[in-house]
Amino acid sequence: MFAIRKLSQITKNCVIRLSSPRKESCLALQFLTSRSKHNGILKDDDLRDEEYENLSSEYLGLSSGGHNALVLQPYIKWGPDKKTNTTPELQLEEAVTLLKTLPNWSVVDKMCVSLMTLEKSKLLGIGNLESLKKRVRSNKVTAVFVSTDLLKPIQMQELEHALRVPVYDRYSIVVQIFRAHAKSQEAKLQVAIAEIPYMWTKLNLIKDNRTAQVGLVECRRKLLMGREAKLKNALKKLKAQRELLRSKRKTHKIPTVAVVGYTNAGKTSLIKALTGDKTLEPKNCLFATLDVTLHRGELPSRLKVLFVDTIGFIQDVPSTLIEPFIATLEDAINADVILHVNDATHPDRRAQMEHVDETIKSLIKDQPVINVANKIDLLKEDNPPVGMLGVSATQLTGIDILREQIDKELLKATGRSVIRMRVQAGSQAAAWLYKETAVTNVEADPKNAQ
């Protein structure tokens, strides 16, 4: 018994290899990665409200038939607000890709326009506005997408009056993409909450209109207040449920690796490559993943681990749009190791990486971050970006090396160790090791077969 207690002290935080994983740990992993169809947070019927749907269609400019859109990319010519890590042309291409994510929308024209500021009540000067009006008419444009985070109500009103077509900003477009991609109750709940600030902005614009009907405005105000209260209450329950699951993972001492990155960087593809989970179906589009999901994996040390898939980041959207998703992003914030995935082939890679770095630094604590350059099989040159581990999730290039790096960082972050010891075959000590640790390898002593 003394020898076993002694071993317990030595191997309490060790990872040794276990040829057949502990049943308890396997069951815990299975439970913590399972998805409940009825989580009791909010039912689909609670999200459906005909009166609200009519209002949101009006305020968000929802259109099932889509639009022939002109994409307008404003940018600051010089000064402290000028972006130096990207170009207007690259920003414009992202805006075009964003719009094409919506079903039935097409881009018939696009243009960049330089401005001194985005804060004026009239966004465009007379010359730029006239040029835009001509292009809208000549290309039979049915909507204009101004690629800035959030237009002021007076800016949108002025543009719609001059162009006589609906005008959208990034907030309204991203919300519509979220609506189209949200599948689970959790995702639908968070999207519903993300809509509310935009709805209030629209309602306040109508309220300030002297010709507005007071009774109608008051009725809509009560509708929004009631829906907002119900959704916030459901979000509190979601946070509590997520916290419970996190505490269970801590109880079972199951380490987690959060996979974060810019939207469409290949996070889901990388998790599939790391875990071999054939049920994962990555998609080549923006915001394909809105849910934070957990996936079981095993590292070279045979340590069981959970990989956390997260919603992708994107530049130039208001914090009120992303804030509701913090409830599920906390799973990533509290992970033991962060895996930052970057699309090595993207022309705007630098700006995307800096945006994600800046965002996660404000959220995470002091966890180690592994920077990964994905899609290196599509690079013209062989070398990945400096300071990053190059991989191809689809071709499995560099995946084994990445697993070893995750293993190393995770063992260090969780206080585990890999040790080598001599134990008598068939002894109580050997039985204890197989039961309580992960035994990676067993070799007979050449001088003593026992």
Domain end among 165, 192, 217: 165
Are residues 355 and 444 located together in one domain of the fold? Answer: no
Of 405 and 379, the one with more pLDDT: 405
Domain end among 216, 238, 260: 238
Q: What is the pLDDT of residue 207?
A: 66
Are residues 200 and 153 located together in one domain of the fold? Answer: no
Are residues 302 and 407 located together in one domain of the fold? Answer: yes
Give the domain CATH number at 113: 3.40.50.11060
Residue 21 covered by a domain? no
Residue 24 covered by a domain? no
Residue 354 covered by a domain? yes
Domain end among 132, 165, 198: 165
Are residues 369 and 426 located together in one domain of the fold? Answer: no
Are residues 268 and 404 located together in one domain of the fold? Answer: yes
Residue 14's SS3 state is: strand
Residue 157 covered by a domain? yes
- pLDDT over 90 (residue 150): yes
Are residues 157 and 304 located together in one domain of the fold? Answer: no
Residue 220 covered by a domain? yes
Per residue in 408-446, pLDDT (tens digit) is 999 999 888 888 888 998 899 989 988 888 787 888 888
Burial zone of 126 (CB within 10 Å; 0-12 exposed, 13-18 middle, 19+ buried): exposed
Q: Where are the beta strands (DSSP E) in 91-221?
A: 106-115, 143-146, 167-168
From the CB of residue 321, how many other CB atoms can be counted at a distance below 10 Å?
Answer: 23
Residue with tokens 């330089």: 114
Strands in 106-115's sheet, in edge-to-edge order, are 106-115, 68-76, 143-146, 167-168
Closest by CA to 267, choosing from 100, 393, 402, 357, is 393
- Domain extent at residue 197: 44-57+184-238
Residue 320 and residue 353 in contact, taking contact as beta carbons nearer than 8 Å: no
Are residues 364 and 441 located together in one domain of the fold? Answer: no
Are residues 144 and 9 located together in one domain of the fold? Answer: no
For the chain, give the percent of residues with pLDDT over 70.
88
Give the domain CATH number at 325: 3.40.50.300
Are residues 227 and 257 located together in one domain of the fold? Answer: no
Residue 222 covered by a domain? yes
Picking from 95-99, 118-122, 245-249, 349-353, which range would have the lowest pLDDT averaged per residue?
245-249
Widest distance between CA atoms in the chain: 97
Are residues 111 and 152 located together in one domain of the fold? Answer: yes
The residue-averaged pLDDT of 77-100 equals 93
Helical (H) or strand (E) element with 72: strand 68-76
Are residues 296 and 372 located together in one domain of the fold? Answer: yes
- pLDDT over 90 (residue 371): yes
- Structurally, how many domains does the chain consist of? 4
Tell me the H-state helices in 36-152: 44-47, 50-60, 88-100, 126-138
Are residues 439 and 388 located together in one domain of the fold? Answer: no
Residue 23 covered by a domain? no
Per residue in 348-358, pLDDT (tens digit) is 999 999 999 99
The C-alpha atoms of residue 429 and residue 433 are separated, in whole angstroms, by 6
Per residue in 32-70, pLDDT (tens digit) is 565 544 455 666 666 677 889 999 998 998 887 899 999
